[in-house]
Amino acid sequence: MDLHCHSGPNPFAREFDHVEAAHDGERLSMRGILVKSHHHNTVMDLLAMKRELAEARTPVFGGVAMNAQVGGINPYAVAMSLRMGGRAVWFPTFSSRCHCENEHHGFPESEYDIPNQIIDVVDADGRLVPEAHDVIDLVVEHDVLLSAGHVKPEEAALIFDAARDRGVRRMIISHPNFVIDADPSTCRELADGGVYIEHEVGMYDPQGFRKWDPAGLLDWIRTVGPDRTVLSSDLGQRGRPMPVDAFQRVGRELLQRGLSVAELRQVTCNNAAFLLGLDDERPEPVGS
């Protein structure tokens, strides 16, 4: 499974499109790929590519990120995406205040050189804006994945608290040590509240854009636990590896460093299948 694939079409240069991502996934008999754009509802792409995607054995799913390009925290855009078959809703990513005020950890400015504006998820009193609750209700209605996007950890906690109170079952926070700067103890608290912590193999791939040591990834998995951890690719950018290659290389390093096969399957397969709705119930804990 891959819950974070940046295949094209996209305003940014991409190494491959959604159809090519599906065929790449066939190499591992992947059960599903979730494609993400910071700028538009990817379900539209998939419907336009329906004939080509039907020839691939790995299914591809889409969703919508609530950035400036779709009107920010816009329940109408979310409702359209979900009613067309969307499986995920991301709170603001590159339009979040956290992202806009972050130095992007060395990513090239050209990757962000596009008209944008800050979309706040909280008001002047630090409370979630009303539209956020409307979006959460839509997520509950469709029983899909809710991501905190690139908001600050304390804002993510507010989103997840409201989501949990309303009955959201599938929640995730991405790359805690990139852009949002959430520490392990904070993520452990989120995980205890039912949130899954996603890490990106593209950050740890020895043949890719490697900035982080896989030993640190293993530390994260041990701190949060494999039952609340998900590995995704965050790949598709021009000049970077294919997701399957990165999954294989990083998976091999984790096994060599002591992660068990069962734990690796939990973080790359089982947890993501539940989050994407391919499995209705949470997977059994590793070792149960």
- pLDDT tens digit sequence for 171-192: 999 999 999 999 999 999 999 9
H helices of the chain, where? 18-26, 42-48, 50-53, 75-83, 97-100, 130-142, 153-166, 184-192, 214-224, 243-256, 261-265, 271-275
Q: Is the pLDDT of residue 283 over 70?
A: yes
Q: What is the pLDDT of residue 109?
A: 46
Q: Is the pLDDT of residue 227 over 90?
A: yes
The CATH T-level fold of domain 2-275 is: TIM Barrel (3.20.20)
Structure pTM? 0.96
Q: What is the mean pLDDT of residues 110-133?
A: 89
Q: What is the pLDDT of residue 275?
A: 98
Confidence of residue 105 (pLDDT cuts 50, 70, 90): low
Q: What is the mean pLDDT of residues 55-83?
A: 98
Q: Is the pLDDT of residue 260 over 70?
A: yes
Lowest mean pLDDT among 33-37, 156-160, 204-208, 246-250: 204-208
What's the CA gap between 256 and 250, in Å, rounded? Answer: 10
155 Cβ contact list (under 8 Å, min separation 6): 98, 121, 122, 148
Do β-strands 33-35 and 88-90 pair in parallel, antiparallel, or remain unpaired? unpaired
What's the CA gap between 52 and 125, in Å, rounded? Answer: 49
Q: Give the pair of three-digit tokens for residue 117.
A: 């504006």
Query: Residue ranges of the domains in the chain?
Result: 2-275
What's the first-to-final CA gap in the chain, in angstroms?
22
